[in-house]
Structure 1
Amino acid sequence: MSDYAFLGIAEAAELIRGRKLSPVEYTQALLARIEKLDKRFHAFIRLMPERALEDARKAEQEVMAGKIRGILHGVPYGLKDIIDVAGVPTTGHSKVLIENIATADAPVTTRLKDAGGVLLGKLATHEFAIGGPSFDLPWPPAVNPWGGNHSRAARRADRAWGWRQACSRRRSVRIRADRSATRRPCAPLRA
């Protein structure tokens, strides 16, 4: 398969579990697409390709050995920059926290790691994930069709990867996704 960007999470996960899709090749393809498109969309404030490829290699070894951790094993994802990842800055997209290095993983990070997910990087958000876009922040705001500046919705619109973690403050996920090109319904995640 040459165009990984159009795989949905369920399809990618099934292909990985069936050993028909390499987590390493999938991650490499998505990282290449992100590198190409993120100059336009600004969805990532911190891309972590080395870590992602290391996690993908580990996932691939486990999958090939028949040690499937769960339905997300080997599937790449992004975390909003309000979620802690040990050793990685969590800035909330604010100058105030520009040097705030997380000392521990947030519970959602731990669960995703334990499930074998492959973290690609930290996603842009409005400052502290509240309010609208600001243009005086350390990174440009994420660009999204029709004016909804929201990184996950922007990523979904450009199909850089199949899924991302979501959290909603003040209805941000529902409002932003509704204003973008993300018209595909979410499928329930089942093994």
Structure 2
Amino acid sequence: MSTTQTIGFIGFGAMASRMAANLVHIGYQALAYTPSGKGGNGSVPFLKSAAEVAQKSDIVLVCVPDDEALAAAMYGPQGALAGMQANGLLLNTSSVSPEASAALLEAGQAKNVVVIDCPVSGSTPEAEAGNLVVLAGGDDAAMARAKPIFDCIGKATVHAGPSGSGTRLKLVINGIMGAGLAAVAEAIAYGLA
């Protein structure tokens, strides 16, 4: 695949940097912004604000750790939404609360920006191999626009339903994993006793 599209990354930690490498490998251009202001390498230039990244990108992909980081990166004069054009595509891969996802969707709609909540399941090895599972919430038209990106970063995309569904499914999966780890810990403690 070859494309001239630019994907702007808001947050560029272990997961996002690996997603970016896969997308650059197939022909996308990438830009990035991190709240720390640190980072940047020869293949992915770092810009001074989330708004600047959004202005210079065709698609914005957000990968931040929590609700507070999402709010800081999205809103206000330096936030990504301030720089996005009408009908822009915003992919929120962050694992955040349903309330934060709903607020971002509403703010996006006010600017005529298409927002998909699409947290990913997997860790850095899966991100590096392009084998994440994308858990997406959004309408069919939005999903069709995002499909080439999802196909590059993941081995499967679960269209969980309307906006907000991806976020809720991610919370369910995290809950199941937490319960499983707790059971393993209890079993080990019992076995050692």
Query: Scaled by the length of structure 1, what TM-score is found?
Result: 0.25
Question: Which one has a bigger Cα radius of gyration?
Answer: 2
Q: By percentage of residues, which structure has more helix?
A: 2
Query: Scaled by the length of structure 2, what TM-score is found?
Result: 0.25
Q: By percentage of residues, which structure has more strand?
A: 2
